[in-house]
Each structure stands twice: as structure tokens, then as C-alpha cells.
A and B are shown apart, each in its own frame.
Chain A
Amino acid sequence: DQQVKQNSPSLSVQEGRISILNCDYTNSMFDYFLWYKKYPAEGPTFLISISSIKDKNEDGRFTVFLNKSAKHLSLHIVPSQPGDSAVYFCAATIQNTGNQFYFGTGTSLTVIP
């Protein structure tokens, strides 16, 4: 059973506008969440993370929001750039056990120039 879900397989956004990528999870024990960016035929690269003690974390153009009651997190990219076009995976884990990182199925973002 998929514990981390990304229900939008793809998203297209105009350059300069905001991109919002969504992720839902089912396990309330998850307390650490990450976003990864992946280009074709390459390994994912870490983008940003958030601990469950926070509801927002910001790094430059990237902001992750966490809504624990809804078991939902989102990644905002502002402004979107053509180089942001990639597949984005969200992941979740339980700190201190840390054995498993559960990944969503990914959202393919296309930023149109």
C-alpha cells in the first residue's frame, strides 16, 4: 500500500509563475519529509526538507509547507524557471528509526518559457 502519494503525474506552468506540487501521506508516524528533483537517467538530488515540528521551511525559491492534520505537504517554487523542469519526488520517514524512506510516484513539472 502506497504510504506516500503524489496524485498529479504532471504539471505545466509558465515561466515566472508559481509551481505547486502536492504530496499526501497516510502514516501519522512520519516526522521528516523531503523533496527530491530528478532529471532523466540521473539520480535524484535533494532539494529541501521539513521536520514535523515545523509547518514551513524556505530555501530561496523553494518553500515546503506541512499540514500535519491533513497529512499533506506541498512544494512551492517561485518564480518557476525552465531549468526547474524535472520530476519531483516527495519522501517521508520516521526519524530515529530511519530505516525506510517512502517515496511518492513523482510529479513531472514542465516550465514553459
Chain B
Amino acid sequence: DGGITQSPKYLFRKEGQNVTLSCEQNLNHDAMYWYRQDPGQGLRLIYYSHIVNDFQKGDIAEGYSVSREKKESFPLTVTSAQKNPTAFYLCASRMISGGPHTGELFFGEGSRLTVL
């Protein structure tokens, strides 16, 4: 079945360590996004990418890095520079080619990162 797969679902990290969250989609979507959700807050955009080998910072990119070497993959690295990394991370994708229709975002199941 087509969809977005995030892994791992739960991850624990010690302070000072980098960690990479995986996001893979087989929907043939052009654009991919990383959001962060904290309690009582909406989804906040970290990074997004519309095409391979190109990505843009969102509202809260500091302390994060991404790559888009393949259309179907958009991994997110949470670096030690991220001051408050404990959160629920959501990857999303959507189709943008083929006309002006925006297309809704499709989300993965999320990854819960806890820094100990």
C-alpha cells in the first residue's frame, strides 16, 4: 500500500548526541516536509523540499538538518545544537506537479524523540 513510513516510532537519545529520523514515501509525491508537534502547540514547520537535492528552512530549522538525495526519502537529523529536541516529529508529503491544485498533505505516523 502507498504511504509514508517514519522510523523509528520511539527514540531515546542522550544529550549531545545527533539522531536521524527516517521518512520514506512511495506515493510519488514531489514535496516532503518535516513538522514538529509540542503539547498545546500546532504543527511547526522545520524543513521542506519540493525537488530532489533542494530544500528550504521552515520556521524552526535551527538545530536540524535534512537531505533529499532521492525523491522518496527525506531524513531529518536532530543535532546536539537543538536546545529542546524532545518532541513528536511528523513527516508529510504532497503532490505539487500537474497544475495549480495544492493537494493536501499526507502524514506519516510520527516519531517520538525523547532526550534523556
Contacts and interface: CB of A to CB of B under 8 A. Distances in A.
Interface of A: 2, 4, 6, 9, 32, 34, 36, 41-46, 49, 89, 91, 93, 95-96, 98-106
21 contacts: A9-B40, A32-B102, A34-B105, A36-B107, A41-B88, A41-B109, A41-B110, A41-B112, A43-B4, A45-B107, A46-B105, A93-B102, A95-B100, A95-B101, A98-B31, A100-B58, A101-B43, A101-B45, A103-B35, A103-B42, A103-B44
Contact of A103 (B43, B48, B110): B43
B40 to A, nearest CB: 6
Which applies to chain B's interface (DSSP): helix, strand, loop or mixed?
strand
B56 interface: yes
Given A43-B90, A43-B110, A100-B58, A105 B41 contact: yes
A104 B42 contact: yes
B104 A49 contact: yes
Nearest to A35: B104
B96 interface: yes
Given A41-B112, A42-B110, A89-B42, A101 B105 contact: yes
Interface in B41-92: 41-45, 48, 50, 56, 58, 88, 90, 92
A103 B33 CA distance: 13
B108 A43 contact: yes
